[in-house]
Amino acid sequence: MKRLGRIAFSVLAALSLLLCMATAMLWVRSYFVADILKDNLANREIGSTHGRLVASWSNGHLPITINWRWTQLSPIDVDQRLRINGFHVTVGFAYYQPSPMGIRGVMAPHWAMALLFAVLPTIQAYRRILFHRRCLVPTSCVKCGYDLRATPDRCPECGTVPKQLGKISN
């Protein structure tokens, strides 16, 4: 069961790393082109502009639907349109209450999303570095890293029998 958990964690870490890299690329791109997924029927959109992810919707519906269309605009045009709709464009996180036009929205900086997606790959890399560091020392326990020079028969910390001795006794 532990093996299955490690495999699942490794797969999630790899997926998270891909999302982190995609977010970083979208972050850089957002300063040159504003990418927007827009639903014209329900006045909902999700976009990326000037280092921010923006989601806006009206009529109390969250931006989840099938009728989306992708458009590209200048980042300056998107910021002007947000200000016209009553949004105050900031650098950090924001939640916007209904404007006079009934539009609500959420903003988050790309760096926060990239940081969020980088957590699992960082933990995975840290675990691998610790494991390989333990394996490089031939006189240490493979399971807990305890120094076995004084007790080569069995690890006094966790009770593991070293592999060389386990093969000889069988």
Whether the full predicted model's pTM is greater than 0.85, yes or no, is no
Given a cut of 50, the residues of the chain with pLDDT beneath it are 63, 165-170
Q: Which secondary structure element, helix H or strand E, spans residue 129, and what is its range?
A: helix 110-136
Q: What's the confidence (pLDDT) of residue 104?
A: 73
> What is the pairing mode between strands 44-49 and 34-39?
antiparallel
Same domain, 29 and 80: yes
Together in a domain, 109 and 34: yes
Does 143 lie in the same domain as 110?
Answer: no
* pLDDT for the residue 117: 93
Q: Give the per-residue pLDDT at 167.
A: 38
The pLDDT of residue 116: 92
123 in a domain, yes or no?
no
Check residue 31 and report its DSSP letter.
Answer: T
pLDDT of 3 reads 81
Q: Is 126 within the bounds of a domain?
A: no
- Distance of alpha carbon 162 from alpha carbon 154, whole angstroms: 7
**pLDDT score at 115:** 92
Give yes or no: residues 99 and 150 share one domain: no
Do 89 and 144 lie in one domain? The reply is: no
Q: Percent of the chain having pLDDT more than 70?
A: 64
Could you tell me if residue 130 is inside a domain?
Answer: no
Boundary-marking domain end, from 114, 129, 151: 114
Copy the structure tokens of residue 77.
Answer: 């045009």
pLDDT for the residue 105: 76
78 belongs to a structural domain: yes
Q: 47 and 110 share a domain?
A: yes
Question: What is the number of domains present in the chain?
Answer: 2
Query: How confident is the model at residue 45, as a pLDDT?
Result: 80
- Asked whether residue 34 falls in the same domain as residue 71, the answer is yes
Q: What is the pLDDT of residue 166?
A: 40
Domain enclosing residue 32, as ranges: 2-114
pLDDT of residue 169: 36
- Are 76 and 39 members of one domain? yes
Closest CA to 23 of 45, 3, 46, 51: 51
Q: Which residue has the tokens 């650098």?
A: 91
Residues, the chain: 170
Q: Are residues 95 and 150 in the same domain?
A: no
- Same domain? For 92 and 16 the reply is yes
Do 10 and 89 share a domain, yes or no?
yes
